Amino acid sequence: MKDLLNRIQLRHLRLIHSVNEVGQLSIAADRLAITQPAASRMLAEIETMVGKPLFVRNPKGMIATPIGEVLARHATSLLQGLAATVNEVGAFATGKKGSVRVGSVTGAAVAYVVPAIQSLMLGSGGADVHIEVGPSDVLMAGLVNGDYDFILSRVSPENDPRMFDIQHGRVETVEFLIRAEHPLAKINAPSITDLAGYNWVAQAPGTPMRQAVEETFFANGVALPDEIINTPSLLVMIAYVQNSDSISPISSEVADLLVSSKVGGIRSIKIRKSIIISPYHLIQLKNVQSSPIAAQLRARVIAALSANAL
């Protein structure tokens, strides 16, 4: 075991990571562009080095043993670090000042990430910045896979919070997007009951915003609409609302952006008693070293979150 550090190779780490991720040796072999017999021999080689089996087979596939879990966890971390190194070196090689990837829920992207990026670019022109907006479960999976330096998201139930550095929570308040001539536009501070009977264009069932709105309807004895168009796309929501009496729940940050931008034919309404969504947080994997440019962007986001702390 003492010479494991000198004997284990990058190809071994990639195989351990792939088998642990997909649970099938054949699929892992395809991912690595090697044959299944070659993958089987390589796995046997690693197990000989370690002196214990790394995976056990069951009807559902290959499951990591306790020592296999340890190796898989560290293999994933090392491969993520290597990928980050390659990205950062590539950015510098093309004349940029580094690379940073951020994932965020929509409201946080509008309120905190975009202003932080704009501030960063004033002093770090040439940085290679990537921002992706999506639901929390997708963002969390991406963070674990090394796709992001940090995210603004809610912690998914399937993730162990102890894996992450979690801080600076913020809640979102729900408003409703409507067309300018909508009947609800004539009501000052409408109640939930005033929203009864109007169809929705909304995020998918199970998302935090959808849950918060549904629970508020249930709590007030208001039936959900017969017709609900499910979409994660803000553009689809806008297009649908512009040409119908449907309503679309969105965060206040997004509503403010759309109204201030004077997007044609739409407005937002706030209901009498606000609907609050569970907090999102700034989340980063523990024990992962950020690049200087990622650390700078993260610091700007934290400063903005701290200035508007719960």
Q: How far apart are CA 159 and CA 193, in angstroms?
A: 37
* pLDDT of the residue at 2: 55
Q: Give me the phi and psi of 298, to 5 degrees please.
A: -60, -45
The predicted-structure confidence for 6-53, as pLDDT tens digits, reads as follows: 678 888 888 888 888 888 888 988 888 888 888 889 888 888 888 888
Q: Which residue has the higher pLDDT, 268 or 157?
A: 268
- What is 4-86's CATH topology? Arc Repressor Mutant, subunit A (1.10.10)
**pLDDT-derived band at 70, boundaries 50, 70, 90:** confident
* pLDDT of the residue at 95: 45
pTM: 0.67
Sign of CA dihedral 266, 271, 276, 277: negative
Is the pLDDT at 88 greater than 80? The verdict is no
- What is 172-277's CATH topology? D-Maltodextrin-Binding Protein; domain 2 (3.40.190)
Tokens of 18: 């792939």
Is the pLDDT at 250 greater than 90? The verdict is yes
Is the pLDDT at 93 greater than 60? The verdict is no
The predicted-structure confidence for 200-210, as pLDDT tens digits, reads as follows: 999 989 888 99
Is the pLDDT at 57 greater than 70? The verdict is yes
Task: List, in order, residues 6 or more apart from 305 with CB less than 8 Å away.
Answer: 112, 168, 170, 282
Q: What is the mean pLDDT of the chain?
A: 86
* pLDDT of the residue at 92: 58
Q: Which residue has the higher pLDDT, 5 or 162?
A: 162
Q: How far apart are CA 30 and CA 39, in angstroms?
A: 9
Tokens of 121: 């670019």
Is the pLDDT at 98 greater than 50? The verdict is yes
The predicted-structure confidence for 105-123, as pLDDT tens digits, reads as follows: 988 998 999 999 988 888 6
Helix (H), strand (E) counts: the chain: 12, 11
Same fold, 4-86 and 96-170+278-307: no
The predicted-structure confidence for 213-247, as pLDDT tens digits, reads as follows: 999 999 999 999 999 999 988 889 999 999 999 99
Question: Is 96-170+278-307 a CATH 3.30.559.10 domain?
Answer: no
Sign of CA dihedral 268, 270, 271, 277: positive
Is the pLDDT at 89 greater than 70? The verdict is no
Total Cβ atoms within 10 A of residue 79 = 18
Nearest to 135 by CA among 169, 161, 167, 109: 109
Domain assignments of the chain as residue spans, ordered by start: 4-86, 96-170+278-307, 172-277
